[in-house]
Structure 1
């Protein structure tokens, strides 16, 4: 997949193209329908292009209302490539981009550099300064400037629109299987393995601790069955793992919302490696134990349960 970091990176003479634009956070089932329709819309004569952003626009416009992202930018780009997107343009959402009027956005971003001939957007799509651009404006401009606009209807499961908001609700409740259904894959957090307090090693269950600056939304506190994928290897290698999420209330002085993965039946040196921790099943919530003994006993039960599920 070709990735252009901004419109200025698009080579002269690019196109003609069919374009869709959006945040695509998580690339869930609804997003994949959009991509499939884009590929059909492009046919054999147009270049299919996804235009997306380096962050949620709310991070700049309304940081108090900006939700946690389901995936980081690198994860999003990999997911787009996995579903057949040939070209992605990543726009840096900054003050300059936020201040562009809707008509100018179409001219400067979509028509000039991309030679757009067909545009696919959702029925609630808004763009440009203060969100003044909408489908009606695009349709009018299309008639004037020679491009067509196709409106993508919402995708629903169980009579509810599939959305990143819904998936965040599910992850926040620890509903991993339901979130997986909407995503079309297990939810995952990506980060570098760093040194922790080494308590897991002392307890007989050494864990890979992810750095606090990891990508992807961390689900509710608790113990999960899943997999650790070592992305520092080529090709990446996947291992079954018991995963702990939370502050480890049995001990004091533990940073909030840690992600720790105990790889089953392996002795690995993962420090400094970038890994994906994939969540498959939630085993239980987080519990504070009266001492180390009951904690070790429960960990043995948890690992046995995880082994039955993914080992």
Structure 2
């Protein structure tokens, strides 16, 4: 899979291009269905499948006070596009195109720089400055400018359209099984381990350094930790650690069962299995330890052989 960082580079591709564009955060089953259509059409015409996406979420430009979190980071998105057998990815900086009108986006940005055969998108696609372009305008432009347009139907679960927005909502509600259905895989976060808390050193925990990832609901979670090809059962706490010193921002702290290696500075992947309970403030440290003992026994009993 090739990665381009300048749209003009696509002029080098002489074959017909089948294109889709979007943030594709999380690459959920709706995204996967759409991208598979792109790849299938490109193969059929012996052309090239291209995904135009962005190095950051566009909403981060417009809502700077409450910046949107990402379901998956950029690196994970690129890996999944490769798995889907996309030929090329055009990674664009959103601020380069944010002021283009809808018509200019199609005519000057896309058609002037590539041999477009077919544009594939979902029914809610909007484009151009202030989201002024929609599917109706895109249909008119496709007829006028002689390129094919395929609008892919929504994928629904429980009569609700699968979307990144809904997945974020379910993450915050702790509805991890619905998240899994919509992603088509287990939800996980990959991050760098930094020195974290030690509850009396009985349960040494590692903080996961987070930047843009969407953190699931506060509370205690059963997790699996993947490190260097092996996976380990663990317990994770998401919250502000109210019984101890208390934090201003939520932390992701993980206790890994039967694990005694120094992994500070290393990347690990945390897979969320189930929310065990809410985070709570205990009267004292001893009560906290007693409850943590109970949580760990519960997780071990349920997931040790899973």
- What is the TM-score normalised by the length of structure 2? 0.91
Look up the match of 1:179.
Answer: 179
Describe the shift of the 1:307–1:26 C-alpha distance in structure 2 as closer, same or farther (beyond 3 A): same
Q: Distance in 2 between matches of 1:188 and 1:170?
A: 14
Across the aligned residues of Structure 1 and Structure 2, the Cα RMSD in angstroms comes to: 2.0
Look up the match of 2:297.
Answer: 304
SS at match of 2:238: strand
Describe the shift of the 1:101–1:279 C-alpha distance in structure 2 as closer, same or farther (beyond 3 A): same
User: How many angstroms does 1:63 deviate by?
Assistant: 3.4
2:152 equivalent to 1:155: no
Look up the match of 2:219.
Answer: 222
User: How many angstroms does 1:253 deviate by?
Assistant: 4.2
User: How many angstroms does 1:254 deviate by?
Assistant: 3.1
Describe the shift of the 1:84–1:310 C-alpha distance in structure 2 as closer, same or farther (beyond 3 A): farther
For the Cα contact (< 8 Å) 1:15–1:114, is it kept in 2?
A: no
Output one character per residue of 1:136-166: Cα deviation in whole Å (capped at 9) or x when no partner: 3322332233310011121111111111111
User: How many angstroms does 1:11 deviate by?
Assistant: 6.4
Q: Distance in 1 between matches of 2:235 and 2:34?
A: 35
Look up the match of 2:203.
Answer: 205
User: How many angstroms does 1:97 deviate by?
Assistant: 1.1
Q: Distance in 1 between matches of 2:22 and 2:169?
A: 21
Look up the match of 1:262.
Answer: 255
Alignment size in residue pairs: 303
2:19 equivalent to 1:19: yes
For the Cα contact (< 8 Å) 1:58–1:65, is it kept in 2?
A: no
For the Cα contact (< 8 Å) 2:69–2:212, is it kept in 1?
A: no
User: How many angstroms does 1:26 deviate by?
Assistant: 0.9
2:282 equivalent to 1:283: no
User: How many angstroms does 1:22 deviate by?
Assistant: 1.0
Look up the match of 2:167.
Answer: 167
Q: Distance in 1 between matches of 2:125 and 2:21?
A: 9
Describe the shift of the 1:140–1:11 C-alpha distance in structure 2 as closer, same or farther (beyond 3 A): closer
- What is the TM-score normalised by the length of structure 1? 0.90
Q: Distance in 1 between matches of 2:289 and 2:67?
A: 39
User: How many angstroms does 1:64 deviate by?
Assistant: 5.0
For the Cα contact (< 8 Å) 1:190–1:214, is it kept in 2?
A: no
**Equivalent of 1:243, from 214, 229, 236?**
236
Q: Distance in 2 between matches of 1:162 and 1:297?
A: 40
Q: Which structure 2 residues correspond to residues 95-134 of structure 1 after superposition, within 5 A?
A: 96-134=96-134
Look up the match of 2:140.
Answer: 140
Residues 217-226 or 103-112, more deviating: 103-112
User: How many angstroms does 1:43 deviate by?
Assistant: 2.8
